[in-house]
Structure 1
């Protein structure tokens, strides 16, 4: 059982940082990547984790069971998968506000999107104190158990820092990155629940992978706003890229209008 506990802690740590890095990319396309944007993301994520640590410790004392631990992670995983769908209309509003220079709506959109992370990040924050409570059998080894749990979680966070930036976002895009990390944590949590408790209990959550699959297929199509002339779009390691064509002129645009990188016309040289 302890092996599954450590694996779940590792994956939850990875998911936390992967969600944070993906959030910076999700919001950076619309609100920029300034120090203020980064400070807001990091600060709020830390507040959510603080709440999770506090809640997780009390929750573990009241219900020190593997079933409770893995069910918390199941709901954390599923709520991360809902972030792309829930944020889409808000980001569409933000994109239009950016075009109209409506700073009030822009700030409000940023705030609402960050609120979407309260539930998943807070639930993920409960993992480490809960795992310590489950792993602790003798107070004489409390220090080594706590150190091991936090080391495993931090190692997972290290992986989660680079995984979306170097692999997932360039490969599948920002929205499907959220779905990928959500699905992986959900898989580990369901397996952990089945192995440590009861496979029958996992059937209560059998619908969740189906919802994530439907979101991956149908829920992330199209752009966040109507873009006349759009002929191509993709995520690179650094930017959200769009190619638009008006007449014979093509524009390479970065981050949904924050900058036009280059212009091409077959008969003109710039």
Structure 2
């Protein structure tokens, strides 16, 4: 067999390694509409992809024992399989999600979905490395340099794939076309390997071309996202009973983050929004209070405040596409608020202003930004409040644990003399997922309960002080160095 130039083997390894890392980065985004984006999601993705690579490397090592032409032919077929399984990963997710997301354990559901969609692409992508390295070592060149070049090629490809996925492909192409680009790279590498193995027959060319066309067709199909931004999969869902009076929900990744009605800006459609709205007005030190909002979503709360004549409204929303969708589909007037497209903690630290009300809407099931629930962040919030101001934040926890809300209460008590926990005025069922709002400030709320539209008339009440004391006593103080909030939300007594 004619010696193969080292540069060609290096180029193949760089390309395959880059493509496989692009798939790994894209996997997290593709899972988000089904199970959200959290520590559990990324842990599952990394573990499954590494398991696939490991199995592929083992298989590739077995293939590398064959004569070079046969080993390269088998590698070509493996790369074609990598292209096929990559191209159909989104179909595998859509087909399996209705069943796998019903697994009671959220970690189990995330792992099962990840295995279904991304184990096979990683397995087939792991096969070429041992084969290409063996060919490089047996082509009559210095083995040490060849081995170093192939290892370096794998690392350089991984770096390139990570950067391309994170900074270019996802934001400019979206996940579907990114997978199409990866599939095209695999098909090209498969054709080169088959050519080197002297098996690039007309049938093989036709098959690879058909795979490329099918991939383009699948990439052109509408995905689950109305808008796919750099941060989220955003969906605008029409809930209108009467088209003349539209009502819409915004779904960010896999959860409804807000509902708004065109003709009823002051009506909240979720429990947590109704509590945030009512408590802000009950606890504000003045009628024309100022507010800072962590997270925009549908901008329902800023829109309600503006409808009541409030003008000093600031919103920190990290994703400009969320704001654009809120303005387009959820009737948010951008002139009624100051919007800062930045991380909320950084935006608040850079803003010397003081606010009467600061609203934190950071909880999204098991995905919680850890840097927004720590003692250091709460100290910043306290410094940005007026003397009679209040910090309000929504919390999601489970009735048979309350470990997360207890930890938040314990941490907030280090900075605020009064910490209250509000929820719907009824006894939750065992194991029920409970939506709450914590009010932290310098004085008590003037009432123990109130009724608000959510959108049905609902009564909310503060938990008893003794019960809050018991929750805080069992809580974990959260800091920038240690904030296991994801685990605490899913904890069970």
C-alpha separation in 2, matches of 1:111 and 1:205? 35
> 1:80 is matched with which residue: 82, 86, 91?
86
- Greater C-alpha radius of gyration: 2
Match of 2:226 in 1: 233
Q: What is the rounded CA distance, in whole Å, between the counterparts of 1:145 and 1:219 in structure 2? A: 38
TM-score (norm 2): 0.47
Deviations 1:93-141 (A, max 9, x none): 457x4xxxx6259834741442333332122212221111101137983
CA distance in 1, matches of 2:13, 2:36: 32
Contact preservation (8 Å) 1:84, 1:220:
no
Alignment RMSD (CA, Å): 2.9
Deviations 1:143-184 (A, max 9, x none): 221111011111111111122232222233223322221112
Aligned to 2:159: 158
Q: Residue 265 of structure 1 aligns with which residue?
A: 262
Residue from 249, 252, 255 that aligns with 2:250: 252
Which stretch of the first structure deviates more once superposed, 197-206 or 247-256?
197-206
TM-score, structure 1 length as denominator?
0.81
CA contact (8 A) 2:237 2:248 kept: yes
Return the offset for 1:61: 1.0
> Which range moved further: 182-191 or 13-22?
182-191
1:1-270 alignment to 2 at 5 Å?
1-2=4-5, 3-65=7-69, 66-93=72-99, 97=102, 103=104, 107-108=108-109, 110-137=111-138, 141-194=142-195, 196-198=196-198, 200-201=200-201, 203-218=203-218, 221-223=221-223, 233-245=226-238, 246=240, 247-257=245-255, 259-260=257-258, 263=260, 265=262, 268=265, 269-270=303-304
Relative to structure 1, the CA distance from residue 110 to residue 175 in structure 2 (aligned partners, 3 Å threshold; closer, same or farther) is farther
8 A Cα contact 2:90 2:117, kept in partner: no
Q: Which is helix-richer, 1 or 2?
A: 1
C-alpha separation between the residues in 2 aligned to 1:28 and 1:206? 35
Kindly provide the CA deviation profile for residues 9-54 of structure 1, in whole angstroms up to 9, marking residues without a partner as x.
1111001111111111111232222222211211121122122222
Q: Which piece of structure 1 moves more, 102-111 or 168-177?
A: 102-111
Equivalent residue, structure 2, for 1:228:
none
How far residue 266 of structure 1 moved from its aligned partner, in angstroms, is: 5.6
> Given the superposition, is the C-alpha separation of residues 218 and 73 from structure 1 closer, same or farther in structure 2, using an over 3 Å criterion?
closer
Q: Do 2:44 and 2:110's aligned partners in 1 also have CA atoms closer than 8 Å? A: no
> What runs of 5+ residues in structure 2 fail to find an aligned partner?
266-302, 305-493
Deviating beyond 4 angstroms after TM superposition, the runs of 4 or more aligned structure 1 residues are: 92-95
Aligned CA distance change for structure 1 residues 179 and 92 (closer, same or farther; 3 Å): farther
5+ residue gaps, structure 1, are: 225-231
Give how far 1:239 is off.
0.3
Per chain length, whose mean CA-contact separation is higher, i.e. which structure has more relative contact order (CA < 8 Å, sep 6+)?
A: 1
Would the alpha carbon gap of residues 202 and 238 (structure 1) be closer, same or farther in structure 2, given more than 3 Å must change? Answer: farther
